[in-house]
Structure 1
Amino acid sequence: MAREAPYLEVAEALRARVRGGEWATGERLPSRARLAEEYGVGRNVTQRAVDLLIVEGLLEGRAGSGTYVREPRERHRMVRTRGEGGPGPGAAWEVHSDARVPAPADIARRLKVAEGDPCVRTRYEFVADHQPVHLSVSWEPMGLTGATPIVLPELGPMKGKGVVARMRSIGVEIARAVEIPRPARATATEAALLGITPGDLLLHIERTYYATDGRPVETADITVPDLRLEIAYEIGLGHG
């Protein structure tokens, strides 16, 4: 039988040592150079092994300090459905909207408007158990909502009702939502906002809502830290 890649063997050995209690929660591991010497492998091998355990949530890297055993943290579940998914019970959010923001090229493409067309951009920070659990930046074309009471998503008569109900209130029926999930690593800015470590695993979700006539009416970029949330897609199959 073929051997596993060397970094997987080192990762498994380190995993066993951590779970066996050789290093306590919050304790720093030996340097990667020392681990490489101990296992008789190159530093690039221990680097890949440690990176894998960081992605798994067993370890955490601290810039300029080293690698530590991470404290276990509870993960919430975000259920994505044909409606709107959220981080679960007990969640709240902080929100800030800006009107008349020119649509950047990628947003213009997603909303099928001209680059520079005025949009409302709304930034959300979702919080549960006093911790930030995910981020979202939503864009809506002002050509659709600008003259209506729902121009600012979290103000007015439809505050907190969500995109589907808000659009219905102005006679726009949502027919479908498209989500494109992409794995990524946290940038320094994302890590600071989410209270995680740069390089931690994230899921970026690009979501767009479409009306019954095919128009995109809202698009959002949702940033989900893997160590805080697991994503579950709930698919209704209907009857027939």
Structure 2
Amino acid sequence: MERQPRYVWLAEQLRRPIQRGEIAPGTRLPSRTRLARRYRVSEQVSRAALRLLATEGVVEARRGAGYFVPDNPVGHHILRTDTGSVQGLGGLRREVVGTEQQRSQPPVSTRLRLRPDEPVYLTTARGMALDRPVALHLSWEPALITTGTLHTPFDAAPGQSPISRLEAVGHPVDGVVEEVCLRALKEIEADLMHATPGVPVLVVERTHYSRGRPVETSDLISTTDQCRLVYRLSLPRPRPPADAGPGA
């Protein structure tokens, strides 16, 4: 079983009662010092857990006052820009349904620039919240890239990402493209998500590239009423104005 960082574990202990409604909106959470004592972790861990929950929107930070449960909490936030998002389900517990080899068909073959019927590996995983599936992640990669190595999806270590496997066989991922759309949930997807076919879902089509070649593509499918995508972007720091010098 993959070991969680302590701050992720602590965030889950706080997230569950909030999402279950056991902590009322507007409630102030214990300070990081009290959380550290209660859960026997360092203050650094409790600080990181609170910041993670604030990023997800599960709690809100109020300067000088602490962390509070929002008055109108949103269900589940799926992080797309944290280190965990390489597995496609950042912020949710990942449950692997299975991996199979199949023949590629459009639109997957188009996204991977393959001829129809070329073999691909499909890995299916679910994003779990409170032991309930709220998102689905389908990942395809060309079988020829890793076939004959110890880095196929069938041989992957628990928790190992496609990015690390592809890098191990000489295809380091250096580019990512995402497209987001809204469509109806298909019947086979609904069975995996325990949902009703036809309901609107968000779909994030994400493709990883290595030296301009698509080496993996995936669909993240999440319910619109329970999930929200979170993109955290880093901007370059503005440069100080150059000294114009005398006479400028």
- The answer as to 2:141 corresponding to 1:143 is no
Residue 88 of structure 1 and its aligned partner are, at CA, apart by: 1.3
Residue 73 of structure 1 and its aligned partner are, at CA, apart by: 9.3
Residue 82 of structure 1 and its aligned partner are, at CA, apart by: 7.2
2:230 pairs, out of 222, 225, 232, with 232
Residue 87 of structure 1 and its aligned partner are, at CA, apart by: 4.5
Residue 236 of structure 1 and its aligned partner are, at CA, apart by: 2.4
Matches within 5 A, 1:38-49: none
One-letter amino acid matched to 2:107 = D
With over 3 angstroms needed to count, the CA separation of the structure-2 counterparts of 1:140 and 1:201, relative to structure 1, is same
Greater Rg over alpha carbons, structure = 1
Residue 207 of structure 1 and its aligned partner are, at CA, apart by: 1.0
Matches within 5 A, 1:153-192: 155-156=155-156, 158-192=157-191
In the alignment, the residues of structure 1 paired with residue 198 and residue 114 of structure 2 have an alpha-carbon distance, to the nearest angstrom, of 34
With over 3 angstroms needed to count, the CA separation of the structure-2 counterparts of 1:114 and 1:128, relative to structure 1, is same
Q: Is the 8 A contact 1:82 1:235 kept in 2?
A: no
Matches within 5 A, 1:1-240: 75-81=75-81, 84=86, 85-88=88-91, 91-99=93-101, 101-152=102-153, 155-156=155-156, 158-211=157-210, 213-239=211-237
How many pairs does the alignment contain? 164
User: How high is the TM-score relative to the length of structure 2?
Assistant: 0.59
In the alignment, the residues of structure 1 paired with residue 186 and residue 108 of structure 2 have an alpha-carbon distance, to the nearest angstrom, of 21
In the alignment, the residues of structure 2 paired with residue 216 and residue 80 of structure 1 have an alpha-carbon distance, to the nearest angstrom, of 19
Per-residue Cα deviation, 1:190-215 (whole angstroms, up to 9, x for no partner): 3343233444331011111001x101
Q: Is the 8 A contact 1:124 1:135 kept in 2?
A: yes
Residue 149 of structure 1 and its aligned partner are, at CA, apart by: 1.1
With over 3 angstroms needed to count, the CA separation of the structure-2 counterparts of 1:92 and 1:131, relative to structure 1, is same
Per-residue Cα deviation, 1:163-189 (whole angstroms, up to 9, x for no partner): 222212222211111111101233444
Q: Is the 8 A contact 1:73 1:228 kept in 2?
A: no
With over 3 angstroms needed to count, the CA separation of the structure-2 counterparts of 1:82 and 1:109, relative to structure 1, is farther
One-letter amino acid matched to 1:119 = V
In the alignment, the residues of structure 2 paired with residue 164 and residue 232 of structure 1 have an alpha-carbon distance, to the nearest angstrom, of 21
In the alignment, the residues of structure 2 paired with residue 107 and residue 187 of structure 1 have an alpha-carbon distance, to the nearest angstrom, of 16
Q: Is the 8 A contact 2:134 2:226 kept in 1?
A: yes
Q: Which runs of 4+ in 1 moved over 4 A?
A: none
Which secondary structure does the structure 1 equivalent of 2:174 belong to? Answer: strand
Residue 134 of structure 1 and its aligned partner are, at CA, apart by: 0.7
With over 3 angstroms needed to count, the CA separation of the structure-2 counterparts of 1:166 and 1:95, relative to structure 1, is same
Q: Is the 8 A contact 1:184 1:204 kept in 2?
A: yes
Which secondary structure does the structure 2 equivalent of 1:174 belong to? Answer: coil
In the alignment, the residues of structure 1 paired with residue 90 and residue 195 of structure 2 have an alpha-carbon distance, to the nearest angstrom, of 17
In the alignment, the residues of structure 1 paired with residue 106 and residue 184 of structure 2 have an alpha-carbon distance, to the nearest angstrom, of 23
In the alignment, the residues of structure 1 paired with residue 220 and residue 108 of structure 2 have an alpha-carbon distance, to the nearest angstrom, of 14
With over 3 angstroms needed to count, the CA separation of the structure-2 counterparts of 1:237 and 1:166, relative to structure 1, is farther
User: How high is the TM-score relative to the length of structure 1?
Assistant: 0.61
Q: Is the 8 A contact 1:178 1:208 kept in 2?
A: yes
In the alignment, the residues of structure 1 paired with residue 99 and residue 226 of structure 2 have an alpha-carbon distance, to the nearest angstrom, of 25
In the alignment, the residues of structure 1 paired with residue 159 and residue 193 of structure 2 have an alpha-carbon distance, to the nearest angstrom, of 22
In the alignment, the residues of structure 2 paired with residue 179 and residue 166 of structure 1 have an alpha-carbon distance, to the nearest angstrom, of 21
Match of 1:8 in 2: none
